[in-house]
Structure 1
Amino acid sequence: MKRLIVSLAMALAWLAQASAAALSVPALPLSSLKLPPGFRIELFASVPNARQMALGKNTLFAGSMRAGKVYAIPLQAPHTPVVIAADLEMPVGVAFRDGDLYVSAVNRILRLRNIEARLKNPPRPEIVSSAYPDDTHHGWKFIAFGPDGKLYVPVGAPCNICAPDPDKYAVITRLDVSSGTIEVVARGVRNSVGFDWQPQSGELWFTDNGRDWLGDDAPPDELNRLSRPGQHFGYPYCHGGSFTDPEFGQARRCDEFELPVQNLGAHVASLGMRFYRGKQFPGRYRDAVFIAEHGSWNRSRKNGYRVSVVRLQGSRAVSYEPFVSGWQQGESAWGRPADVLVMPDGSLLVSDDQAGAIYRVSYRGNR
């Protein structure tokens, strides 16, 4: 009996080690990453295929795309992730509100109630809405609650370039999670996978991915600002505020649409973005926009694979430059930033779905 107990204990210990190993990643070449003077980057947690992040009270949540899982990561070390939902379709988006976690899964918005109290025994996800299109082309969704208490949910175009139903596709919507009512707030948005609200104005700002197959250097990705509901941002007729689409541009002129605040790099695949509301970084970064640029997939020479920063004066962009780079080495890349998130202490988290990692960027230099 004693041998059986010892064997059982050894087996349980082996299973625990195997589980931890399954959630780990090989040593990452963090020394290859370049940051401005005074900043440092470190591994916060190893999370397979980490995409959008959301903060609870004591927990960081992360969605995934290929893994089909949602993870909970304790904010206290050792930051070991726990799977709280699995076998979902592209559960990229996560949003936390009033103790509940909301998850996007293509056509469905799901809710895990009172999740932080049930991390060891997660509840079955309940459906909040299944009214969204089930197309998987640009069907993954970044989600977030706005200042109005509504859940903002984008719906990308189900194609590279086409003119789909303007009430269903290429839009950003807001969902009343109590009633299930859906309202379109922005149109002509090809594929937004990141947005946030400007601290001063409360306006919605979002990244948008430009179309493919018009060459290496066109059209640009965009950083946009929604100043009133219903504005149109050009897709499929116009890109980057001035680039007329060769297939659809004859139907409408570029001057009919909202101009981007900032054109980003062509094909950089701009995803998660956040305003910097923290106080740890130097003052020049206060209220700037940090953007995860996932990286090009069909450009002849790779582009993106970095975190960039757009500095503002009011609602006007005054600079756009790399903040963290080095995931791309020559024409190969060992990581792909997918989202950014400002922590309560002012540090910045960066998720990387290729390396299976979440990094923390902090500032230790002179102010």
Structure 2
Amino acid sequence: MMSKTYKKLIATRLSDDFRSAIDIQELPIPTPNSGEILIRNKFAGINAGFDTLLCKGNVPYVNLTPPFDLGVEAVGEVVEIGEEVNTIQIGDAVATTVRGGGYREYQVISAHQAIKIREAIPEVLTLMPTGMSALVALEEVGEMKSRETVLVTAAAGGVGHIAVQLAKLAGNHVIGVCGSEVKAKLLESLGCDRIINYRNETLDTVLQQEYPNGINLAFDCVGKQTFDTCVEHLAVRGRLVVVGFISEYANDLESVTQPRIYQKLFWKSASVRGFLMPHFSEYAEEARDRLLDLFYTGKLKVAVDPREFHGIEAIPDAVEYLLSGQNCGKVVVKF
């Protein structure tokens, strides 16, 4: 018998600490209106950086006032449909990427916002929107070509391990930066050409000694010193895409006093480019379909972190786990 209530996670206040900003609510399970569907979420993806920034009030394009719902990507099963829903049936597996629809056991959304998938498995959470971000950032912002040298930081993370594979599929030499032997083994299995474990080697030294002509495309999710090193080693006409800066999400931004970076970029005609998926929404559908096809045909491997998190109550632990850098692949919570 289906429960009459469900739990969801909300932000009740703005705070630098995710755990202190949130609360769990228990509410009646909603009934879908015309054109809507009710989904029982089975898995949700953890986006610790976005979650933290959102609860700090540091996401300018959202600018929410508490209380507000949290979580984005989820996969689940349709358990009820409203009138005039013709494209989806009860029992269908679907994926959703609605902000506020992830960290909850049930959600009601418009039928057209749901993406039908073969099975509600956690691997799909790595493709939407995480993998979509990797693909669009590399191709549209980074202008990725073939036979280039591509460097990916946080390469064993949810976004990074997809970026590594997409760069390899495009015919590039790929350098993956990570912080443990377990992560290095994952990158080796994905075909990474040069793996740099920054706990054993220095990124700057390796690039200086082994890549004297520089990096054509850097895909950076880390920031701070890693960002500085990537800028330093860009090739002529090299591009650095800022996909995130997880090293500073949980703290105040570091103040830096040094020469402006245009003197490093100008003489090499190099560039630094920011990427935020909402600014490239016109590419989302094609990217999603291509990634699903690559996954279903076995051309793209998806890594889900083996550590298990169960239930709404485990989400703060999952966020802190991801921010600690221990994860290998996508971190998910199971409902």
**What TM-score results when the alignment is normalised by the length of structure 1?**
0.26
Q: Which has the higher strand share?
A: 1
Q: Which has the higher helix share?
A: 2
**What TM-score results when the alignment is normalised by the length of structure 2?**
0.27
Does 1 or 2 have the higher relative contact order (CA < 8 Å, sep 6+)?
2
